[in-house]
Structures are given as structure tokens and as C-alpha cells.
């Protein structure tokens, strides 16, 4: 277990997972569309209205998120209406839930007004509030200082050295 943090310049973040994630959901509107998707929104104009963005931006984001595989189009039909298309989360999209919850949690802690947070996400079974936490595979809770950065198989080293 080498601590790469000791020589940050010996490796590059050209293939950084964080940057790659942001290439897909790196705009405010994309993340807010995903928020609404987790809240159950499925129809075009509901997305536009609830996120508070215009229709062109809504169409562009839905197209991108569908192309990236986070959402999928599906036909639906209400009684007495023609068949229409709507959007729902895929497994790839659902996997973004920790990101949305972590963003909500930070806002709840650091960016609410005096009234407190607008919504509380609770465990369906027991009713207790839900938090985004960091945990290692052995079950230990992790604080920011408790982690080290190790080389992964895709690491790109720079000329400097390879230790």
C-alpha cells in the first residue's frame, strides 16, 4: 500500500474517475434532472417545470443522459391519451444515488437557512434519516484523514519516477 499522496506529481489524473463522472453529469441541470428522476419524475414537462429550466435545456439534458445510459425512454399511455414517451432511471442512473444524497447532505449541513432542510430522506423500514457515509470493505467508518490513495491498474505515471 503505497501512499501516492506523498508525490502527487509522479502521477496524472488524465483518466480520473471523478472527471469522467463530471463529463456525464457535470452541469447543474444534469444533476438536478437526476434529482427529479430519483423523486419519481418521468415526463418531459414535469422535468422542465420542477427543475426550473427551459425546454431546450431539458431536451438537451434528457437526450444526453439517455445517450449516456443513465435514463431510458419508455412509452406510456394514460387512459384516453395517445402513447407518449417518458424517462426512467436505469441501473447506471440509480447508482448515482450516493452522489445526490451526498450533495443533499452537504447542503443540509452547510447551506440551509434558519428554517432547516426542506426534505428529510428516511429509511422506508425504520423511519430513521439517511446519510451518505464512507466505509471500507471491512466495515470501518472513514473520516477524511483516515484514507490513503493507492495506485490502481489504470494509473498513469509521469516521467518523473516510478518508485
For DNA, give the closer residue by CB, 60 or 101. Answer: 60
**Per-residue b or e along 44-64, where b marks 16 or more CB atoms closer than 10 Å to that residue's CB:** bebbbeebebeeebbeebbeb
- The residue behind cell 425512454 is 73
Longest CA span, the chain: 69
Mark 133-162 with x for binding to DNA (rule: CB under 7 A) and - for no binding: ------------------------------
Q: Which of residues 52-91 bind a copy of itself (CB under 8 A)?
A: 52, 69, 89
Which of DNA, a copy of itself, none is residue 146 near (CB under 5 to 8 Å by kind)?
A: a copy of itself
Q: How far is the CB of 26 from DNA (least distance, A)?
A: 7
Does 10 interact with DNA (rule: CB under 7 A)? no
Contact (Cβ atoms closer than 8 angstroms) between residue 30 and residue 61: yes
Which of DNA, a copy of itself, none is residue 75 near (CB under 5 to 8 Å by kind)?
A: none
Choose which of 1, 9, 18, 83 interacts with DNA (CB under 7 A).
83
Q: How far is the CB of 45 from DNA (least distance, A)?
A: 4
Q: 157 pairs with which residues across the strands? A: 11
Taking the alpha carbons of 147, 103, 121, 66 in that order, is the dihedral positive or negative?
negative
Contact (Cβ atoms closer than 8 angstroms) between residue 62 and residue 98: no
Choose which of 40, 52, 144, 153 interacts with DNA (CB under 7 A).
52
- Residue 96: name the closest of 15, 14, 37, 143 by CA: 37
Judged by CB under 7 A, how many residues of this single chain contact DNA?
Answer: 27
Residues that bind DNA (CB under 7 A): 27-30, 43-46, 52-57, 59-63, 73, 80-86
Amino acid at each position: 500500500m503505497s501512499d501516492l499522496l506523498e508525490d502527487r506529481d509522479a502521477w496524472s489524473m488524465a483518466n480520473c474517475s471523478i472527471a469522467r463522472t463530471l463529463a456525464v453529469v457535470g452541469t447543474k441541470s444534469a444533476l438536478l434532472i437526476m434529482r427529479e428522476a430519483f423523486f419519481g419524475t418521468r415526463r418531459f414537462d414535469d422535468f422542465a417545470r420542477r427543475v426550473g429550466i427551459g425546454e431546450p435545456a431539458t431536451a438537451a439534458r434528457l437526450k444526453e443522459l439517455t445517450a449516456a445510459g443513465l435514463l431510458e425512454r419508455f412509452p406510456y399511455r394514460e387512459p384516453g391519451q395517445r402513447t407518449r414517451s417518458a424517462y426512467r432511471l436505469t441501473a447506471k442512473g440509480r447508482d448515482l444515488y450516493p452522489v445526490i444524497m451526498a450533495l443533499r447532505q452537504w447542503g443540509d449541513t452547510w447551506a440551509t437557512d434558519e428554517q432547516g432542510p426542506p426534505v428529510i430522506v428516511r429509511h422506508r423500514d425504520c423511519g430513521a434519516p439517511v446519510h451518505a457515509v464512507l466505509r471500507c470493505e471491512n466495515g470501518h467508518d472513514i473520516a477524511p484523514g483516515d484514507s490513503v490513495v493507492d495506485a490502481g491498474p489504470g494509473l498513469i505515471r509521469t516521467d518523473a519516477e516510478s518508485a
